[in-house]
Structure 1
Amino acid sequence: MRRTFILIIIVLQVLNSTAQTNDQEQIRKFYDLALTQGKSYDWLNYLSNQIGGRLSGSVQAEQAVNYTRAELDSLGLDRVWLQPVMVPKWVRGTPEFAYLESKPGYTSNIPICALGGSVATPPGGVKAEVVEVQSLEELETLGQERIKGKIVFFNRPMDPRLLNTFQAYGGAVDQRSSGAAQAARYGAVGVIVRSMNLRLDDYPHTGSTNYGDLPEKDRIPAAAISTNGAEFLSTTLKLNPEVQFYFKLNCKQLEDVQSYNVIGEIRGSTKPEEIMVVGGHLDSWDLGDGAHDDGAGCVQSMEVLRLLKKSGYKPKRTIRVVLFMNEENGLRGGRKYAAEAEQKGEKHVFALESDAGGFTPRGFGFDSSDADFEKIAGWESLFEPYLSDHFIRGGGGADIRPLKKEGMVLAGLRPDSQRYFAHHHAQNDTFEHVNRRELELGAAAMTSLIYLADKYELGSIGN
C-alpha cells in the first residue's frame, strides 16, 4: 500500500513537472513571436499618427472603429463584428485661454484646458477673484459668503509618497469629477482644478467632470490648470489674495450619436460557450493622440488573438477581443457589452483589461475567489523570467467591471506606473512616448495569462 502511494506521488510530480515545462515552452513562444514579429506597435502608430485623438462621437473615433475592424478581419478570426452603442458627443471648440491679473494691465498667461463635459463660459469669458481650497469638504467650511461670485481653485496634489500612482490619483480625482457641481451650489462662477499629474510641467490634464442632477442653468465652467500653473497661482494668491483670474472655454455638449464596440473572437474548440474577454478602450481624449490611454491597451488586446493563432494554440474556450467605446466620458461601451451579454445568456468566465499605459509590465491584479487566486499565484514562477510576476488581489478595469458575476475572474495588466500620469489625459499622450519593446512585452504577458486561464479553466463559473 505504501509503495502504491509513493508511486502515485512520483507520477503526479512527473506530470506536474511535464505540464510546467510545456507551459514554459508555450509562454516562451509567445514572447519570441511578440518581440520578433509583433504587430502592436505598427497598429498603434496608425491609430496615433494617422487617426489621432478619438473622443467619443468624433470623426476620429469612427475612423478608429473602421481601422481596427479591418485589422481584426485580416487576422483570420472566426468572427468579427461591430456592436452599436449610443455615445455622448462633447466638443472642445477653439483653444481655451486664461490669464492671471495681478493688477490692472499686468497679466500672466496660464495653461488650462476644459474638463470633459464642462459647459462653456459666457462669450466674454469669466473673470473673478479666486478662492483656493484643498478639498470638497472645505467648500462647506467656507460657505456661500466666501465663495459666491468667485472662481474656486481646487489645489490638492496627488500624494507623491504613494508608490502606487493609481492610488495617488484616486485620492485626488474627486475634485476634478465633482468639484464644479459642488462649487456651483455655493454660488461660484467657475472652477479651476489642479491637473492630476505628479510631475511639475506646463501640460493641463483633462478628464470628465460630472454635474450630477444640477440643473443646466446652474452649471458653471470647469477647467484643469497645469501643475506649474497651479503652483504659480497658489503662490501669487498668498502674496495678493485679491488677484483676478480670467478664463474662456468654448466647449459644447451635443446630442448623442451612434458608435460601436469592435469585437473579434476565436471560437473555443471544446467549451465554446465559455467566453474569455481581453480588451481596452478605443476612445481617448482629444488633446494628444491617446497612445498610452488607451491605444496601447487596444493594440495589445488585438495582439493577444494574433499571437494565439500565430503560435498554433487552439483554445478550449472562446477568446474574444473587445475594443470598448466611450470609457472616458460615459462608459457606454462597457455597459452595452455587459447588458447584451446578459440578454443573450452568454457565460463569461474571465476578462482581462489593459488600461494603464504601454509601459513595462510588472504583473497583474485580480478580482477573484480565494480558490482561483490560489491557482493564479501558482503561475508566478512562469512570469518570473519576464519580470512580470507581481500578482496581487484587486484588479480588472472600468470596461469589464459591468460583466462581473460571482465566480468570474477579472484581471488587469499592471505596467510600471511611475510615468503614466505625466501623460494621462494630456497633450503629451503621444506615440513617441511609447517604447516598442515595453508595449510588446505587455502583449506577450497578456497572451500568456489568457493561455493559462484557458488551459486550466480559471473561473469557477466554468468548473
Structure 2
Amino acid sequence: MKYFSTLLVLLFSFQVSAQSDAENLKSIYSNALTNGKSYEWLRHLSNNIGSRLSGSFGAEQAVAYTKLELEKLGLDKEWLQPVMVPKWVRGLPEFAYIETLPGQTTHVNICALGGSVETPKGGVRAQLVEVKGIEELKALGKDKVKGKIVFFNRPMQAHLIDTFEAYGGCADQRYSGAYEAGKLGAVGVIVRSLNLRLDDFPHTGSMTYGDLPVSQRIPSAAISTNDAELLSTMLSLDSSINFFFKQNCKQLEDVQSYNVIGEIKGSEFPDEYIVVGGHLDSWDLGDGSHDDGAGVVQSMDVLRLLKESGIKPKRSIRVVLFMNEENGLRGGKKYAEVAKSKGENHIFALESDSGGFTPRGFSFDCNDAVFNMVLGWKDLFKPYLIHYFEQGGSGADIGPLKSDSIVLAGLRPDSQRYFDYHHAASDTFDAVNKRELELGAATMASLVYLFDTYGTSAETPNGTPKN
C-alpha cells in the first residue's frame, strides 16, 4: 500500500511538472513572437555598426553597444572580459582578371582570405594549375606547380543534405591551400568560394601558413562560384591563359578586445553555471547578420525571455558574447581559461552560430544517459515543430569548456541557405527573417529553462528517475 501511494505521488508530481514545463515554454514562445527584442538589436548591430572583424572599430562599437543593452535588462551582473585578438586588415578592394591574350581580359570577383599576405605592389600575374584538392596538388609535385597560381576548384557536394558536412568537405583547401602550395613554389592561390549556389559573391574565411617561412608565404584569395566556373571552362579550352590579382591586406600586431558577459544569479544553485552565447565578431565583407549577429541577439534575448516569462532560474545563467571566433577563437579560449582558473562549475553551454533561420532542433555533445534524458523533452518542443535532437557537435566558442561534467549543445536551424551568405558581402540584415530569428531565440530559451530546471543528471533533484 505504501509503495502504491508513493507511486501515485510521483506520477502526480511528474504530470504537474510536465504541465508546468509546457506552460513555461508556451510563455517563452509567446513573448518571443509578440515582444521579441532580437530583431531590433540585430537591426542596430548590422545597420548602425556593420562589420565587426576582430580588432576593428566596428568590433569596439559592438562591445559597447551590447554591454549597454545587457545593462538595460536588469541582470544581476554585466562585465567585459579582456582578451587579446589578432588584427588583420583587408585594405583597398581586391582586383583580378583572366587574360586570354595580351590586352584581352575578363574581370572576375575575388576577395582576400583572412590572414593572407598582400601581393607585390604590381600584383601577381601567372599561368594557373587547377586542382580539386590538396592531395591532387601534392601529386603534381614541385615541377608542375612552381611559379604558377594554384586554383583550388573543389565545389561543395550538393547531394549532401547536411550543408555543414558539405562545407567541411571543402574547407581544407581554403584553410591550408596556401600553405601546401607555398611549399611547392607557387606564387599565389585562388580558391573556389564555399557556397552551394552560383553567384558573384566571393566568400572569405580564415587560412593559415602554418610553419611556412615568411619568404614562402603567398597571397591567397577566394573567387566567386560563377567566376570559378568561368575560369575552369576557360582553362579547359586553353591551359596557357594567365591570371592576375592584386590585394593589399596586412597582419598587424594583436590588440585588446573583450568578451561581453551578463549574468542572472541562480536562486538555489548559484555556483552551477549555464552559458548561452554566440560570437560578436564577424568578417568584414557584409555586416555579419547571420554569422553571427543572429546568435548574439538570440543569446541576449534568452535571458530577457526568462525574466519576461516570470521564470526565476535555479542556476546562474550567463550570456557570453565571444570575440574572435572567426580568425582565432581567442574569446572562447579566454572564457574557458578564466572559468577554469576560478574553479567555476559549468554544467551546460548552448551556442548559436548557424544563422538566424528557422530552428529545427539541437545537437548535443554529451553521454548517452544525458541524451536519453533530453529525448524525454521532445514532446515539449513538438508544438513548435522542433524535432531534430541528435548527438554530435556543439559550437566552436563553447568547445574549450568541454569536460566530463558539462553538456554542450548547438542550435540547429535549417541550413539550406546558410552558405549563400556565410563570410560574404551578401550577409546583411535584409537576409534575416524576423519571425525565424525570434523562433530561434525562444527555442534556445526553452532548452536553457529545461536544463536549469532539471540539471544534467539523469535523475531529478530528489533522486527519482526521470521518465
What is the TM-score with the length of structure 2 in the denominator?
A: 0.97
TM-superposed deviation, 1:461: 13
1:133 is matched with 131
Deviation per residue, 1:317-365 (Å, 9 max, x gap)? 1000000000000000000000011111111110000000000000000
1:191 aligns with: 189
**Which of 330, 341, 344 is matched with 2:342 structurally?**
344
Instruction: Give the match for residue 366 of structure 2.
Output: 368
- Which residue is equivalent to 2:113? 115
Measured after TM superposition, the shift of residue 190 of structure 1 is 0.1
The equivalent residue for 1:316 is 314
1:332–1:338 Cα change, 3 Å:
same
- Which residue number in structure 1 is paired with residue 54 of structure 2? 56
**Equivalent residue number for residue 214 of structure 1:** 212
The 5 A counterparts of 1:204-353 are 204-353=202-351
For the 8 Å contact 1:162–1:168, the answer to whether it is kept is yes
Partner of residue 173, structure 2: 175
Residue aligning to 1:452: 450
Structure 1 residues 94 and 413: CA distance shift in structure 2, 3 A: same
In structure 2, what is the Cα distance between the partners aligned to 1:9 and 1:462? 15
Query: Which residue number in structure 2 is paired with residue 92 of structure 1?
Result: 90
SS at match of 1:411: strand
Q: Structure 2: which 5+ runs fail to align?
A: 462-467
Instruction: Decide whether the 8 Å contact of 1:317 with 1:454 is kept in 2.
Output: yes
- Give structure 1 stretches of 5+ with no counterpart: none
Secondary structure, aligned partner of 1:192: strand
Look up the equivalent residue of 2:388 and give its one-letter code.
H
- 1:14 corresponds in structure 2 to 12
Q: Is the 8 A contact 1:275 1:347 kept in 2?
A: yes
Give the conservation status (yes or no) of the 8 Å contact 1:172–1:196: yes
Mapped partners of 1:438, 1:74: distance in 2: 24
Out of 402, 413, 416, the position equivalent to 1:415 is: 413
Which residue number in structure 1 is paired with residue 404 of structure 2?
Answer: 406
> Which deviations, in whole Å up to 9, do the C-alpha atoms of 1:89-137 show, x marking residues without a partner?
0000000000001111111000000000000000000000000001111
**What do you get for the CA RMSD once the two structures are aligned?**
1.3
1:105 aligns with 2:103: yes
Cα distance in 2 for residues equivalent to 1:54 and 1:186: 35
Taking the aligned partners of 1:462 and 1:210, their CA distance within structure 2 comes to: 47
2:11 match: secondary structure: helix
Aligned-pair CA distance for 1:13: 2.6
Verify the 8 A CA contact 1:349 1:459 in the aligned structure 2. no
Relative to structure 1, the CA distance from residue 102 to residue 116 in structure 2 (aligned partners, 3 Å threshold; closer, same or farther) is same
Displacement after TM superposition at 1:287 (Å): 0.1
Asked if 2 retains the 8 angstrom alpha-carbon contact of 1:279 and 1:321, the reply is: yes
Partner residue in 2 for 1:426 = 424
Paired AA for residue 445 in structure 2? T
Question: Counterpart of 1:70?
Answer: 68
SS at match of 2:141: helix
Q: How does 1:38-53 map to 2 (within 5 A)?
A: 38-53=36-51
C-alpha separation in 1, matches of 2:327 and 2:359? 26
Shift of 1:7: 4.2
For residue 357 of structure 2, the aligned residue among 356, 359, 366 is: 359
Q: Percent identity?
A: 66
